[in-house]
Amino acid sequence: MTKPLSKRKIVVKFGGSSLADHERLLKAVMAIVNETKRGTKVAVVVSAMGKTTDVLLTTAKNTSNGKLAKHELDDILSMGERTSVRIFSTALRNNGVDSCYFDPMDSNWPIITDDKFQNANPDVKACTKNIAEYVLPIVEKGTVPVIAGFVGKTKDGKITTLGRGGSDTTAFLLAEGIGADQVVLVTDAEGIMSSDPKIIQSPQRLPTIDVNTLVGLADSGAKFIHSKALKYKPKNIDVKVISNAHGDLSREGTIITGGLASELDAEIAHPTSVAEITVIGNGLSANPQVITQMIEKVKENTVLLGMSMNTNSIILYVPQTENINSLFNQIHQITVGNKETIAMAVKRDLVFIKTSGVGLEETHGIIGRISEDLRVNGVNISGILTITSSILLFVDWNEKEKALKLIKNALKSH
């Protein structure tokens, strides 16, 4: 059930491109002004204006002779956002909206982090508590707080920055803390697009996308939301991505739904044993018709759990059902009936283990650690597939509990 507008609370984040000059900044301010006139209670997160952060970074590094400490650089980089909050809040007040700003040097600053300067991690529990204590009461009384995105502070008062996607992270933390109905991310795109507009001529705007789908695209080089930020998206609060071109927060964009598992974990991904079908040949990848035939046969009989392919071979992972021998024979008929395929092999009684969690692709050496721990303990890996934020492993069914425990321990100890 949709809340009446007068009861709605939203968090709106403006990226640097939305604040790049005085015209864009004023358009952003007026979007907030008009939204408050609808009765919506708003909290605002702002990035640094335009390329300010890049200019600060380049200038600081080029003038420090390599002697700039990480915490000193974070203090300098925070100045972009700290300037933005002052300008934005003043502009709101000058346009008839009661507003205040939050600066990391204030005692009521809500975003607390660890001390990993340049890529700090929020202390979610402390942030949620502070936001409820310091920000929520301001929002409830109709004042618009403007908070510096991308910036945090350690428990001993040193300024940190949150790394890539930092302002989105701030917006998601705020939304959780104030119990927002929606987060609105204002960008220079019409929403999440079907591909990167810089590469594809006519990408389409996606009306909705689940966050678990989006995380697979997040670090692909296209201008999507960074996976580190998506880790903090509240599960029950939708995110709307819209363009800054219209100056209207009610515009359609892309709605991001759902939430991610924030911790790295492993699970048995299929309840029964799995079979591995390997077909070898010459130039197999150059003949998609043969590959399509095999996949269609799998779909007629069961489901395809995973697949890997190179120039001369294809491996299919399927549930080991009662009629699995029928599927084996059908795949074999395709194998002997095409000149590109030579022979097939089958491996039975495997378990399918899925390792997942946001940031898996940033956890250096994790595949090596898992593989080594399994090897040392006598567990052979029959197959391994990797995609963004997940590793799919196939090992002997009789070793499933042992393998699962080893993988979980490898994730915890990394």
CATH number at residue 292: 3.30.2130.10
pLDDT the model gives residue 226: 82
pLDDT the model gives residue 6: 52
Same domain for 295 and 230: no
pLDDT the model gives residue 176: 96
Same domain for 281 and 185: no
Same domain for 207 and 311: no
Same domain for 292 and 198: no
Name the domain boundary from 257, 283, 304. Answer: 257
pLDDT the model gives residue 65: 81
Distance CA 51, CA 20 (A): 8
Digit-coded pLDDT (tens) for 299-351? 999 999 989 888 899 999 999 998 899 999 999 999 999 888 999 999 999 99
pLDDT the model gives residue 359: 60
- DSSP letter (8 states) at residue 205: B
Same domain for 272 and 221: no
Q: How far is CA 271 from CA 274, 321, 365, 381, 384, in A?
A: 9, 12, 28, 18, 18
Same domain for 335 and 200: no
Same domain for 393 and 344: yes
Same domain for 218 and 311: no
pLDDT the model gives residue 1: 46
Segments in the chain below pLDDT 70:
1-6, 218-223, 261-263, 358-364, 388-389, 413-414
pLDDT the model gives residue 220: 55
Name the domain boundary from 217, 241, 257. Answer: 257
Please count the structural domains in the chain: 2
Same domain for 252 and 275: no
Same domain for 347 and 241: no
Digit-coded pLDDT (tens) for 246-276? 999 999 999 999 988 666 778 898 999 999 9
Phi and psi dihedrals of 265, rounded to 5? -150, 165
Q: Which domain holds residue 228?
A: 5-257
pLDDT the model gives residue 413: 67
Name the domain boundary from 230, 257, 284. Answer: 257
Q: What CATH number should be reported for the domain holding residue 126? A: 3.40.1160.10
pLDDT the model gives residue 5: 44
pLDDT the model gives residue 388: 62
How many residues are present in the chain?
414
Distance CA 144, CA 386 (A): 44
Contact 284, 290 (CB under 8 A): yes
Same domain for 326 and 230: no
Rounded to a whole number, what is the distance in angstroms from the first to the last CA of the chain? 43
Same domain for 280 and 238: no
Contact 72, 40 (CB under 8 A): no
Phi and psi dihedrals of 373, rounded to 5? -65, -40
